[in-house]
């Protein structure tokens, strides 16, 4: 059974309670999802990845905690020979979960590739993006991918040509909604001229505020902004609060008896109604902690105190 073949319908009468990412209650076109915190599944398949069993347990813990948005990509793997590992894990976790798997919205990406030695490269050729999306659809076992991103602009290919592949994928019903990732305002605007952009995914955290203008663009366009590496990436996430950039976040966390990670995520969600985040996790406890940030309310005074806590990368 695929994610969209169970016959169960999403209960839109409680959409407000489910706190969908975008201000109009949707994540992409007609894709109501639950919560503004998703799971960034990348750490489950890249260097230092846990066992498949622990990865599945982490995904199940996320679903049990209410996560209904999982972010993956075909390039989340060790080498080119391992392409699609993360997507296969996500599909396996949804299929084996005891809950309503059809509610989980999976976002995946194409246009970023791994070589035989594990190096990262871009391939934004339209024919590659189209082929990659079709392969992702098969691995995810869905009729159409709920949300598909162009992973990263390819400097060797005109950006509008890569985005044109997203138009083709929509027309061919390979995907249901499209997004762009790692882009500038100028690139986002050029993409929006030829396709409905449902989401933009860029790095954003107290350590990296370089996408502030992109967030503002998303607000003007009513486009969902999804922050990747919202805790600063795996090397920084475990040391939150131990450096000048996040001292204030740790102090607020103590006042709330919360983790510093929860305060960082709550701060990010408070930036705009259109912001969401996909913190990574390798253990069930990590994603459960992150999800708790959705119920953490920061005062205006606390937000003002944290406003000076970030840097420009």
Per-domain residue ranges of the chain? 12-239+268-297
Count of Cβ atoms closer than 10 Å to residue 12 Cβ: 13
Residue 311 confidence (pLDDT): 52
Superfamily of domain 12-239+268-297, CATH level 4: NADP-dependent oxidoreductase domain (3.20.20.100)
pLDDT of residue 218 exceeding 60: yes
| pLDDT tens readout for residues 110-161 | 999 999 999 999 999 999 999 999 999 999 999 999 999 999 999 999 999 9
Helices assigned H by DSSP within the chain: 15-18, 52-64, 85-96, 126-140, 159-171, 185-192, 212-221, 234-237, 247-256, 260-270, 284-291, 300-307
Catalytic residue numbers, as ranges: 76
Residue 309 confidence (pLDDT): 59
Residue 136 confidence (pLDDT): 98
């Amino acid at each position: 059974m695929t994610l969209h073949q169970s016959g169960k319908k999403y209960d839109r009468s409680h959409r407000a309670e489910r706190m969908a990412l975008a201000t109009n209650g949707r994540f992409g076109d007609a894709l109501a999802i639950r919560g503004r915190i998703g799971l960034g599944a990348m750490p489950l398949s890249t260097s230092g990845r846990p066992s498949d069993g622990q990865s599945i347990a982490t995904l199940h813990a996320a679903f049990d905690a209410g996560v209904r948005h999982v972010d993956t990509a075909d390039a989340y793997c060790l080498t080119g020979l391992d392409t699609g590992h993360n997507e296969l894990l996500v599909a396996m976790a949804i299929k084996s979960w005891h809950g309503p798997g059809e509610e989980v919205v999976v976002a995946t990406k194409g246009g970023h590739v791994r070589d035989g030695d594990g190096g990262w490269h871009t391939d934004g050729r339209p024919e590659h993006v189209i082929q990659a999306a079709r392969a992702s659809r098969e691995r995810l076992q869905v009729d159409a991918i709920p949300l598909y991103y162009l992973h990263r602009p390819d400097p060797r290919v005109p950006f509008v040509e890569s985005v044109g592949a997203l138009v083709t994928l929509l027309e061919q019903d390979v995907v249901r909604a499209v997004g762009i990732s790692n882009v500038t305002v100028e690139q986002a605007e050029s993409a929006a001229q030829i396709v409905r952009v449902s989401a933009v995914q860029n790095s954003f955290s107290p350590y990296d505020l370089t996408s502030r203008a992109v967030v503002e663009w998303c607000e003007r366009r009513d486009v969902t902004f999804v922050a990747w590496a919202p805790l600063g990436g795996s090397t920084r996430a475990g040391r939150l609060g131990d450096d000048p950039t996040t001292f204030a976040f740790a102090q607020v966390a103590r006042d709330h008896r919360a983790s510093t990670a929860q305060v960082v995520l709550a701060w990010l969600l408070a930036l705009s109604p259109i912001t969401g985040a996909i913190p990574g996790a390798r253990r069930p406890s990590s994603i459960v902690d992150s999800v708790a940030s959705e119920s953490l309310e920061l005062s205006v005074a606390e937000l003002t105190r944290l406003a000076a806590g970030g840097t420009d990368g």
